[in-house]
Amino acid sequence: MNKVVWLLFLVSTATGCKGQPSTPDKAIDSMVQSYLKNNHAVGLSIGILKEGKTRFYGYGETGKGSGKAPDSATIFEIGSISKTFTATLLGLAIVTGKLRLDDSVNKYLPDSIPLLQYSGKVMRLRDLANHTSGLPRMPSNFFAPVVDLQDPYRNYTIEKLYSFLKHWQPGRVPGSKYDYSNIGVGLLGVILQRVYGRSYEEMVVSQICRPLGMYDTRVTIREQDSVFFAKGYDFSGNYNSPWNLPAAFAGAGAIRSTAGDMLKYAQANLGGVAGELGKAIQMTHDSTFSQGDLVLGLAWHYIRPGEERVLFHNGGTGGYRCYLAIHLKLQFAVVVLANTAISPDSLGNELMRYLEKQKG
Protein backbone atom coordinates (compact mmCIF):
# COMPACT_ATOMS: atom_id res chain seq x y z
CA MET A 1 0.00 0.00 0.00
CA ASN A 2 1.35 3.42 -0.89
CA LYS A 3 1.88 5.87 1.90
CA VAL A 4 -1.47 7.07 3.18
CA VAL A 5 -2.19 10.74 2.87
CA TRP A 6 -5.20 12.50 4.28
CA LEU A 7 -7.19 15.59 3.65
CA LEU A 8 -10.08 16.96 5.67
CA PHE A 9 -12.29 19.93 4.95
CA LEU A 10 -15.04 21.26 7.20
CA VAL A 11 -17.77 22.84 5.11
CA SER A 12 -20.87 24.72 6.23
CA THR A 13 -23.89 23.67 4.19
CA ALA A 14 -25.47 27.00 5.04
CA THR A 15 -22.73 29.05 3.37
CA GLY A 16 -21.23 26.48 0.99
CA CYS A 17 -17.76 27.88 1.78
CA LYS A 18 -14.73 25.66 2.17
CA GLY A 19 -13.02 25.89 5.53
CA GLN A 20 -9.37 25.42 6.41
CA PRO A 21 -7.76 21.95 6.48
CA SER A 22 -7.94 20.34 9.88
CA THR A 23 -6.50 17.30 11.63
CA PRO A 24 -8.69 14.24 11.01
CA ASP A 25 -10.74 12.77 13.83
CA LYS A 26 -8.51 10.13 15.45
CA ALA A 27 -11.38 7.68 15.92
CA ILE A 28 -12.40 7.94 12.28
CA ASP A 29 -8.78 7.71 11.18
CA SER A 30 -8.39 4.47 13.15
CA MET A 31 -11.45 2.95 11.47
CA VAL A 32 -10.17 3.88 8.03
CA GLN A 33 -6.75 2.38 8.68
CA SER A 34 -8.34 -1.04 9.18
CA TYR A 35 -9.78 -0.84 5.66
CA LEU A 36 -6.53 0.44 4.20
CA LYS A 37 -4.55 -2.45 5.68
CA ASN A 38 -5.82 -4.51 2.77
CA ASN A 39 -2.84 -4.50 0.42
CA HIS A 40 -5.03 -3.88 -2.62
CA ALA A 41 -6.88 -0.86 -1.24
CA VAL A 42 -6.05 2.25 -3.28
CA GLY A 43 -8.09 5.27 -2.22
CA LEU A 44 -11.12 6.48 -0.29
CA SER A 45 -13.24 9.60 -0.32
CA ILE A 46 -15.41 9.83 2.79
CA GLY A 47 -18.12 12.37 3.46
CA ILE A 48 -20.01 12.93 6.72
CA LEU A 49 -23.06 15.14 7.07
CA LYS A 50 -24.05 16.04 10.60
CA GLU A 51 -25.55 19.04 12.37
CA GLY A 52 -25.83 20.93 9.09
CA LYS A 53 -22.13 20.61 8.30
CA THR A 54 -20.15 18.33 6.01
CA ARG A 55 -16.71 16.88 6.56
CA PHE A 56 -14.63 15.21 3.87
CA TYR A 57 -11.73 12.81 4.37
CA GLY A 58 -9.46 11.61 1.59
CA TYR A 59 -7.08 8.66 1.96
CA GLY A 60 -4.69 6.90 -0.38
CA GLU A 61 -4.54 7.89 -4.03
CA THR A 62 -6.85 8.73 -6.92
CA GLY A 63 -4.71 6.38 -8.99
CA LYS A 64 -1.64 4.33 -8.21
CA GLY A 65 1.42 6.55 -8.33
CA SER A 66 -0.55 9.79 -8.59
CA GLY A 67 0.46 10.95 -5.13
CA LYS A 68 -2.89 12.73 -4.91
CA ALA A 69 -5.47 11.92 -2.26
CA PRO A 70 -9.16 11.82 -3.29
CA ASP A 71 -11.18 14.83 -2.13
CA SER A 72 -14.79 15.94 -2.18
CA ALA A 73 -14.61 16.65 -5.94
CA THR A 74 -13.05 13.34 -7.01
CA ILE A 75 -15.39 11.41 -9.30
CA PHE A 76 -16.18 7.72 -8.68
CA GLU A 77 -18.58 5.24 -10.21
CA ILE A 78 -21.40 4.77 -7.67
CA GLY A 79 -22.89 1.63 -9.24
CA SER A 80 -26.15 0.51 -7.69
CA ILE A 81 -26.69 3.67 -5.65
CA SER A 82 -27.97 4.79 -9.06
CA LYS A 83 -31.04 2.68 -8.32
CA THR A 84 -32.17 5.21 -5.71
CA PHE A 85 -32.01 7.95 -8.38
CA THR A 86 -34.15 5.74 -10.62
CA ALA A 87 -36.64 5.35 -7.78
CA THR A 88 -36.71 9.13 -7.36
CA LEU A 89 -37.45 9.54 -11.07
CA LEU A 90 -40.27 7.03 -10.61
CA GLY A 91 -41.57 9.09 -7.70
CA LEU A 92 -41.50 12.23 -9.84
CA ALA A 93 -43.44 10.48 -12.60
CA ILE A 94 -46.04 9.44 -10.03
CA VAL A 95 -46.27 12.89 -8.43
CA THR A 96 -46.75 14.51 -11.84
CA GLY A 97 -49.38 11.98 -12.90
CA LYS A 98 -47.42 10.32 -15.68
CA LEU A 99 -47.90 6.87 -14.18
CA ARG A 100 -49.00 5.04 -11.05
CA LEU A 101 -46.95 2.85 -8.73
CA ASP A 102 -49.23 -0.15 -9.22
CA ASP A 103 -49.46 0.14 -13.00
CA SER A 104 -48.70 -3.03 -14.92
CA VAL A 105 -45.18 -3.10 -16.34
CA ASN A 106 -46.59 -4.16 -19.70
CA LYS A 107 -48.53 -0.90 -19.98
CA TYR A 108 -45.26 0.83 -20.83
CA LEU A 109 -43.66 -1.87 -22.99
CA PRO A 110 -44.05 -2.84 -26.66
CA ASP A 111 -47.09 -5.00 -27.46
CA SER A 112 -44.74 -7.75 -28.66
CA ILE A 113 -43.76 -8.57 -25.06
CA PRO A 114 -46.11 -11.14 -23.45
CA LEU A 115 -48.00 -10.20 -20.29
CA LEU A 116 -45.59 -10.49 -17.37
CA GLN A 117 -47.78 -12.27 -14.82
CA TYR A 118 -48.04 -15.36 -12.66
CA SER A 119 -51.26 -16.95 -11.40
CA GLY A 120 -53.23 -13.99 -12.73
CA LYS A 121 -51.16 -11.36 -10.88
CA VAL A 122 -49.27 -8.95 -13.12
CA MET A 123 -45.85 -7.48 -12.52
CA ARG A 124 -46.13 -3.85 -11.39
CA LEU A 125 -43.77 -0.87 -11.42
CA ARG A 126 -43.66 -1.20 -7.62
CA ASP A 127 -42.23 -4.70 -8.00
CA LEU A 128 -39.40 -3.48 -10.23
CA ALA A 129 -38.45 -0.78 -7.74
CA ASN A 130 -38.35 -2.99 -4.63
CA HIS A 131 -36.84 -6.15 -6.16
CA THR A 132 -39.95 -8.31 -5.86
CA SER A 133 -40.69 -8.68 -9.58
CA GLY A 134 -39.40 -12.24 -9.80
CA LEU A 135 -36.93 -11.21 -12.49
CA PRO A 136 -33.46 -12.69 -12.05
CA ARG A 137 -30.45 -10.66 -10.99
CA MET A 138 -29.19 -10.70 -14.58
CA PRO A 139 -30.91 -11.69 -17.85
CA SER A 140 -30.01 -15.11 -19.23
CA ASN A 141 -28.84 -13.63 -22.55
CA PHE A 142 -26.40 -11.23 -20.90
CA PHE A 143 -23.47 -13.60 -20.75
CA ALA A 144 -23.33 -14.90 -24.31
CA PRO A 145 -21.29 -13.35 -25.63
CA VAL A 146 -19.67 -10.80 -23.32
CA VAL A 147 -17.34 -8.88 -25.60
CA ASP A 148 -15.24 -7.08 -23.00
CA LEU A 149 -14.88 -8.45 -19.47
CA GLN A 150 -13.37 -5.11 -18.42
CA ASP A 151 -16.59 -3.34 -19.49
CA PRO A 152 -19.21 -6.12 -19.69
CA TYR A 153 -22.46 -4.15 -19.95
CA ARG A 154 -21.70 -1.81 -22.81
CA ASN A 155 -23.07 -3.97 -25.63
CA TYR A 156 -26.32 -5.03 -23.95
CA THR A 157 -29.02 -3.23 -25.91
CA ILE A 158 -32.68 -2.57 -25.19
CA GLU A 159 -33.43 -4.97 -28.04
CA LYS A 160 -31.62 -7.72 -26.15
CA LEU A 161 -33.62 -6.84 -23.04
CA TYR A 162 -36.87 -7.13 -24.96
CA SER A 163 -35.74 -10.43 -26.45
CA PHE A 164 -35.09 -11.75 -22.94
CA LEU A 165 -38.55 -10.66 -21.75
CA LYS A 166 -40.23 -12.35 -24.72
CA HIS A 167 -38.79 -15.71 -23.74
CA TRP A 168 -38.65 -15.44 -19.95
CA GLN A 169 -41.21 -17.33 -17.85
CA PRO A 170 -42.12 -15.93 -14.40
CA GLY A 171 -41.79 -18.51 -11.64
CA ARG A 172 -43.71 -16.88 -8.78
CA VAL A 173 -46.27 -14.23 -7.96
CA PRO A 174 -44.84 -10.72 -8.41
CA GLY A 175 -44.55 -8.84 -5.13
CA SER A 176 -44.31 -11.98 -3.01
CA LYS A 177 -40.56 -12.36 -2.46
CA TYR A 178 -37.45 -10.20 -2.42
CA ASP A 179 -34.80 -11.16 -4.97
CA TYR A 180 -32.29 -8.43 -5.90
CA SER A 181 -32.51 -7.76 -9.62
CA ASN A 182 -30.28 -5.52 -11.70
CA ILE A 183 -32.34 -6.19 -14.79
CA GLY A 184 -35.53 -5.32 -12.90
CA VAL A 185 -34.36 -1.80 -12.07
CA GLY A 186 -32.75 -1.58 -15.49
CA LEU A 187 -36.18 -2.28 -16.99
CA LEU A 188 -37.70 0.42 -14.78
CA GLY A 189 -35.12 2.84 -16.17
CA VAL A 190 -36.09 1.85 -19.72
CA ILE A 191 -39.77 2.45 -18.94
CA LEU A 192 -39.00 5.91 -17.55
CA GLN A 193 -36.99 6.72 -20.67
CA ARG A 194 -40.00 5.72 -22.78
CA VAL A 195 -42.40 7.74 -20.62
CA TYR A 196 -40.31 10.91 -20.68
CA GLY A 197 -38.82 10.48 -24.16
CA ARG A 198 -35.40 11.36 -22.78
CA SER A 199 -32.17 9.52 -22.00
CA TYR A 200 -31.55 8.33 -18.46
CA GLU A 201 -28.74 10.84 -18.02
CA GLU A 202 -30.90 13.73 -19.22
CA MET A 203 -33.58 12.80 -16.68
CA VAL A 204 -31.16 12.42 -13.78
CA VAL A 205 -29.32 15.65 -14.49
CA SER A 206 -32.33 17.87 -15.23
CA GLN A 207 -34.82 16.48 -12.70
CA ILE A 208 -32.57 15.64 -9.74
CA CYS A 209 -29.02 16.93 -9.97
CA ARG A 210 -29.51 20.49 -11.16
CA PRO A 211 -32.31 21.24 -8.67
CA LEU A 212 -30.13 19.92 -5.85
CA GLY A 213 -26.95 21.68 -7.00
CA MET A 214 -25.22 18.39 -7.82
CA TYR A 215 -23.17 19.63 -10.76
CA ASP A 216 -20.59 16.82 -10.76
CA THR A 217 -23.06 13.94 -11.01
CA ARG A 218 -23.84 12.40 -14.38
CA VAL A 219 -23.46 9.25 -16.48
CA THR A 220 -20.98 10.46 -19.10
CA ILE A 221 -17.48 11.50 -18.12
CA ARG A 222 -16.73 14.58 -20.19
CA GLU A 223 -13.23 15.43 -21.31
CA GLN A 224 -13.00 18.24 -18.77
CA ASP A 225 -14.00 15.84 -15.99
CA SER A 226 -11.36 13.21 -16.74
CA VAL A 227 -8.71 14.81 -14.52
CA PHE A 228 -11.07 14.42 -11.53
CA PHE A 229 -12.06 10.81 -12.30
CA ALA A 230 -10.40 8.32 -9.94
CA LYS A 231 -8.90 5.25 -11.61
CA GLY A 232 -10.56 2.00 -10.59
CA TYR A 233 -8.89 -1.26 -9.53
CA ASP A 234 -10.14 -4.83 -9.15
CA PHE A 235 -9.89 -7.18 -6.15
CA SER A 236 -6.29 -7.99 -7.01
CA GLY A 237 -5.24 -4.37 -7.34
CA ASN A 238 -5.11 -4.41 -11.14
CA TYR A 239 -6.47 -1.48 -13.13
CA ASN A 240 -10.07 -1.98 -14.27
CA SER A 241 -11.53 0.23 -16.96
CA PRO A 242 -14.72 2.21 -16.27
CA TRP A 243 -18.02 0.41 -16.80
CA ASN A 244 -20.31 2.05 -19.34
CA LEU A 245 -23.88 0.92 -18.76
CA PRO A 246 -26.14 1.46 -21.78
CA ALA A 247 -29.82 2.44 -21.78
CA ALA A 248 -30.98 -1.09 -20.88
CA PHE A 249 -29.03 -1.04 -17.61
CA ALA A 250 -28.53 2.67 -16.97
CA GLY A 251 -31.15 2.81 -14.22
CA ALA A 252 -29.40 0.00 -12.37
CA GLY A 253 -25.95 1.51 -12.05
CA ALA A 254 -24.67 4.01 -14.62
CA ILE A 255 -24.09 7.14 -12.51
CA ARG A 256 -20.76 8.70 -11.55
CA SER A 257 -20.56 11.18 -8.67
CA THR A 258 -18.46 12.74 -5.91
CA ALA A 259 -18.55 12.70 -2.13
CA GLY A 260 -19.55 16.36 -2.21
CA ASP A 261 -22.54 15.74 -4.45
CA MET A 262 -23.56 12.58 -2.61
CA LEU A 263 -23.87 14.53 0.63
CA LYS A 264 -26.09 17.05 -1.19
CA TYR A 265 -28.18 14.06 -2.22
CA ALA A 266 -28.18 12.79 1.38
CA GLN A 267 -29.25 16.23 2.62
CA ALA A 268 -32.17 16.18 0.16
CA ASN A 269 -33.20 12.78 1.53
CA LEU A 270 -33.13 14.21 5.05
CA GLY A 271 -35.90 16.62 4.05
CA GLY A 272 -36.41 20.25 3.29
CA VAL A 273 -36.72 19.93 -0.48
CA ALA A 274 -39.83 21.73 -1.69
CA GLY A 275 -42.25 20.87 -4.45
CA GLU A 276 -42.57 17.78 -6.59
CA LEU A 277 -38.98 16.65 -6.13
CA GLY A 278 -39.32 16.73 -2.35
CA LYS A 279 -42.51 14.68 -2.53
CA ALA A 280 -40.86 12.18 -4.87
CA ILE A 281 -37.86 11.76 -2.57
CA GLN A 282 -40.07 11.16 0.45
CA MET A 283 -42.09 8.61 -1.52
CA THR A 284 -38.96 6.51 -2.04
CA HIS A 285 -38.65 6.15 1.75
CA ASP A 286 -42.11 4.65 2.24
CA SER A 287 -42.00 0.96 3.11
CA THR A 288 -43.25 -1.11 0.16
CA PHE A 289 -42.17 -4.61 1.20
CA SER A 290 -40.81 -6.46 4.22
CA GLN A 291 -39.39 -9.95 4.54
CA GLY A 292 -38.16 -10.89 8.01
CA ASP A 293 -35.72 -8.19 9.10
CA LEU A 294 -35.54 -6.83 5.56
CA VAL A 295 -37.51 -3.62 4.94
CA LEU A 296 -37.59 -1.89 1.57
CA GLY A 297 -38.72 1.46 0.29
CA LEU A 298 -38.43 2.15 -3.43
CA ALA A 299 -34.89 0.93 -4.20
CA TRP A 300 -33.75 2.00 -0.73
CA HIS A 301 -33.02 -0.71 1.84
CA TYR A 302 -33.38 -0.19 5.56
CA ILE A 303 -30.53 -1.66 7.59
CA ARG A 304 -29.57 -1.47 11.26
CA PRO A 305 -25.82 -0.83 11.63
CA GLY A 306 -26.42 0.46 15.17
CA GLU A 307 -29.47 0.97 17.35
CA GLU A 308 -31.76 2.45 14.70
CA ARG A 309 -32.79 1.53 11.17
CA VAL A 310 -31.24 3.75 8.52
CA LEU A 311 -31.76 4.32 4.82
CA PHE A 312 -29.07 2.48 2.85
CA HIS A 313 -27.72 1.50 -0.51
CA ASN A 314 -24.32 0.43 -1.70
CA GLY A 315 -22.89 -0.09 -5.15
CA GLY A 316 -20.07 -1.58 -7.11
CA THR A 317 -18.62 -1.77 -10.60
CA GLY A 318 -15.44 -3.42 -11.86
CA GLY A 319 -13.07 -1.05 -10.07
CA TYR A 320 -15.22 0.81 -7.56
CA ARG A 321 -17.27 0.19 -4.41
CA CYS A 322 -19.41 2.66 -2.51
CA TYR A 323 -21.64 3.03 0.54
CA LEU A 324 -24.36 5.52 1.45
CA ALA A 325 -26.37 5.47 4.68
CA ILE A 326 -28.77 8.14 5.91
CA HIS A 327 -30.01 8.29 9.50
CA LEU A 328 -33.44 9.84 9.09
CA LYS A 329 -34.15 10.04 12.82
CA LEU A 330 -30.89 11.63 13.93
CA GLN A 331 -30.37 13.58 10.70
CA PHE A 332 -26.90 12.53 9.64
CA ALA A 333 -25.36 10.62 6.76
CA VAL A 334 -22.19 8.84 5.68
CA VAL A 335 -20.86 8.24 2.17
CA VAL A 336 -17.77 6.17 1.42
CA LEU A 337 -16.42 6.00 -2.15
CA ALA A 338 -13.58 3.61 -2.97
CA ASN A 339 -11.65 3.20 -6.20
CA THR A 340 -11.12 -0.50 -5.69
CA ALA A 341 -13.44 -3.52 -5.75
CA ILE A 342 -13.08 -4.03 -2.00
CA SER A 343 -16.32 -3.30 -0.19
CA PRO A 344 -16.27 -0.43 2.33
CA ASP A 345 -19.59 -1.55 3.87
CA SER A 346 -18.04 -2.57 7.19
CA LEU A 347 -16.24 0.76 7.41
CA GLY A 348 -19.44 2.62 6.56
CA ASN A 349 -21.41 0.74 9.21
CA GLU A 350 -18.70 1.40 11.77
CA LEU A 351 -18.81 5.11 10.99
CA MET A 352 -22.60 5.11 11.35
CA ARG A 353 -22.39 3.43 14.76
CA TYR A 354 -19.75 5.91 15.88
CA LEU A 355 -21.83 8.92 14.84
CA GLU A 356 -25.00 7.45 16.32
CA LYS A 357 -23.33 7.15 19.71
CA GLN A 358 -22.51 10.85 19.55
CA LYS A 359 -26.22 11.72 19.47
CA GLY A 360 -26.07 13.13 22.96
Q: Evaluate whether 345 touches 314 at the Cβ level (below 8 Å).
A: yes
User: CB burial class (10 A; 0-12, 13-18, 19+) of residue 23?
Assistant: exposed
- Pairing mode of beta strands 117-118, 289-291: unpaired
Mean pLDDT of 76-83: 98
Classify domain 6-75+215-240+251-276+308-357 by CATH number: 3.40.710.10
Q: Where are the beta strands (DSSP E) in 260-350?
A: 289-291, 294-296, 301-303, 310-317, 320-327, 332-338
Confidence of residue 24 (pLDDT cuts 50, 70, 90): low
In the structure, what pLDDT confidence band is assigned to residue 215 with cuts at 50, 70 and 90?
very high
Confidence class of residue 147 from pLDDT cuts 50, 70 and 90? low
Note the pLDDT of residue 224: 87
Residue 104 half-sphere exposure, CB side, CA atoms within 13 Å?
14
pLDDT at 195: 97
The pairing of strands 301-303 and 43-50 is unpaired
Tens-place pLDDT, residues 184-199: 999 999 999 999 999 9
Percent of the chain with pLDDT over 70: 92
What was the pLDDT predicted at 339?
98
**Upstream peptide bond of 136 is cis (omega within 30 degrees of 0):** no
pTM greater than 0.85:
yes
